[in-house]
Homo-oligomer: A and B are copies of this chain.
Amino acid sequence: MQSDNPTAAILLIGDEILSGRTRDLNAHHLAGILNGIGIDLREIRVVADDHPAIVAALRALDQALGGAWDMVFTSGGIGPTHDDITADAVADAYGTVLEINADARRMMEERWTRLGMEITEARLRMARIPVGATLIENAESAAPGFSIGGAHVMAGVPSVFRSMVEALVPRLNPGRPPVSETIRVDRPESDVADGLREVAGRFADLSLGSYPFRDEAGFGTNLVIRGLDPDRVAQAAAALRDRLAL
């Protein structure tokens, strides 16, 4: 699909995903949102709770560090425990240091006071923010995420991640959202491959994808046409229906 839309990557940080213990929910959630605002998600990575691995991934993914994409959204590793090392790694990657951030501290203390919770050193650890970063609000549990360079650093707990995404999205530079049309065919992919290839060749500005599935009735295929121009997408869908005699 031809597009000048901004590009992005998602970086999930967490041993628990790699060990198979936890199934990630956050990448799929954010992928749908980015698609809806015309930000072109080009890559997802999952790395361990490992300082060098996080730094290397940020360098590979964020254009601000010489990496590939306009922005990178991280999830995980910003909690209060010893294995929460994302903020330290991010500070290193962007050549800055962590400091207790006064605004972050205030947000968290307001919540703790309201809930009658003590202010402990472990809790304050979550107010350590890279110098130069902008906070991302967390309506769910107060401890904020932050943005620095092209990176937006958010929590791993799905409800908290969603809350941060909601706060962040209005601040992102959006693109032109793609439109898509899906044609469901109750035939195996190999039955429609020739027609699909031919029509795809005539609509090189669009993306024509073919997604096989299996349900109780056997193998079927979803044909998905994506592009920025609704008229072109409709033309391609009509051409495809015509070619496949649907």
Q: Which residues from chain A sit less than 8 Å from chain B, CB to CB? A: 12, 15-24, 27-28, 30-35, 41-49, 53, 79-84, 120-123, 125-126, 140-141, 157, 159-160, 178, 180, 189-194, 196-197, 200, 207-214, 219, 224, 226
| Interchain CA distance A22-B44 in the complex, whole Å | 14
Assess whether B31 is in contact with A18, with CB atoms less than 8 Å apart: yes
Describe A's contact surface by its main secondary structure.
mixed
Integer count of this chain's copies in the complex: 2
How far, in Å, is A63 (CB) from chain B's closest CB? 16
| Interchain CA distance A192-B81 in the complex, whole Å | 8
Give A47's nearest chain B residue, CB to CB. Answer: B43
Known: A48-B42, A157-B213, A214-B159. A193 touches B80 (CB 8 A): yes
Assess whether A83 is in contact with B43, with CB atoms less than 8 Å apart: no
Assess whether B226 is in contact with A19, with CB atoms less than 8 Å apart: yes
* Set B16, B82, B197: member contacting A211, Cβ < 8 A: B16
* Set B21, B32, B79, B178: member contacting A189, Cβ < 8 A: B79
Assess whether A200 is in contact with B82, with CB atoms less than 8 Å apart: yes
Assess whether B83 is in contact with A210, with CB atoms less than 8 Å apart: yes
Assess whether B31 is in contact with A157, with CB atoms less than 8 Å apart: no
Assess whether A43 is in contact with B42, with CB atoms less than 8 Å apart: no
